[in-house]
Chains A and B, each alone.
Chain A
Amino acid sequence: MSQYVLVLKEDCETCKLLAPVTKRLINELDLTIYSQDNPEFPSDVPVIDDTELEYSFKHRLETVPTLLKFDDERELIEVARTEGWDRQEWQRLTGLNFPDDLPAFRPGCGSKTMDPGMLDKLAVKYGSADLEVRRLSIEDGEDEIEACYDRGWSDGLPLVPPTELRVVKMLQGTRRSPDEIIGSVPPDYAPCSVLKVAVNAVMAGCKPEYMPVVLAAVEAALLDEFCMHGLLATTYFSGPMVVVNGPISRAIGMNSKGNALGQGNRANATIGRALQLVIRNVGGGKPQGVDRAALGNPGKYTFCFAEDETNSCWDSYSVDKGFDSEESTVTLFAADGVQGIVDQKSRTPESLCRSFAAGLRVASHPKMVMAADAFLVITPEHERVFKDAAWSKEQVKTELESLLQIDGAELISGAGGIAEGIPDKFADKVVPKFREGGLNIVRAGGGAGMFSAIIAGWGASGSMGSVPVTVKVRH
Chain B
Amino acid sequence: MDLDRRGIPGGFIASTEFVEAAASQARSLGFDPSKVFVGHPIQDRSNAEMEKLAEDAFEEVLALVVENNA
Contacts and interface: CB of A to CB of B under 8 A. Distances in A.
Nearest to B27: A139
Interface of A: 136, 138-139, 141-142, 147, 150-151
Interface residues of B, number: 6
Nearest to B4: A150
Which among B5, B30, B31 has the greatest number of chain A C-beta atoms within 10 A?
A: B30
A432 B40 CA distance: 77
14 contacts: A136-B30, A138-B30, A139-B28, A139-B29, A141-B28, A142-B28, A142-B29, A142-B30, A147-B30, A150-B1, A150-B5, A150-B30, A150-B31, A151-B30
Contacts of A147: 30
A286 to B, nearest CB: 14
A142 B29 CA distance: 7
Interface string B29-70: 111000000000000000000000000000000000000000
A147 B28 CA distance: 11
Contacts of B5: 150
B2 to A, nearest CB: 10
A147 B30 CA distance: 9
A138 B5 CA distance: 18
A227 B31 CA distance: 35
Contacts, number: 14
B36 to A, nearest CB: 23
A144 to B, nearest CB: 12
Contacts of A142: 28-30
Contacts of B30: 136, 138, 142, 147, 150-151
Contacts of A141: 28
Contacts of B31: 150
Contacts of B29: 139, 142
Contacts of A139: 28-29
Contacts of A136: 30
Interface string B9-31: 00000000000000000001111
A27 B45 CA distance: 88
A138 B31 CA distance: 12
Contacts of A151: 30
A138 B1 CA distance: 16
B27 to A, nearest CB: 8
B47 to A, nearest CB: 39
A399 B31 CA distance: 60
Nearest to B28: A139
A306 B28 CA distance: 44
A383 to B, nearest CB: 49
Contacts of A150: 1, 5, 30-31
Contacts of B1: 150
A136 B30 CA distance: 9
A148 B30 CA distance: 11
Which among A138, A142, A150 has the greatest number of chain B C-beta atoms within 10 A?
A: A150
Nearest to A139: B28
A150 B5 CA distance: 7
A391 to B, nearest CB: 55
B18 to A, nearest CB: 19
Given A142-B30, A150-B5, A151-B30, 11 more contacts: A136-B30, A138-B30, A139-B28, A139-B29, A141-B28, A142-B28, A142-B29, A147-B30, A150-B1, A150-B30, A150-B31
A180 B27 CA distance: 33
Closest 4 CB pairs of A and B: A139-B28, A142-B29, A150-B31, A136-B30
Nearest to A140: B28
A147 B31 CA distance: 10
A147 B5 CA distance: 12
A169 to B, nearest CB: 25
A139 B29 CA distance: 8
A150 B28 CA distance: 13
A141 B29 CA distance: 9
A139 B30 CA distance: 9
A123 B58 CA distance: 55
A142 B30 CA distance: 10
A392 to B, nearest CB: 55
Contacts of B28: 139, 141-142
Nearest to A149: B5
A142 B31 CA distance: 12
A409 B31 CA distance: 61
B65 to A, nearest CB: 21
A55 B62 CA distance: 61
A19 B30 CA distance: 55
Nearest to B5: A150
A150 B6 CA distance: 11
A151 B1 CA distance: 12
A356 to B, nearest CB: 45
A150 B2 CA distance: 10
A162 to B, nearest CB: 15
Nearest to B1: A150
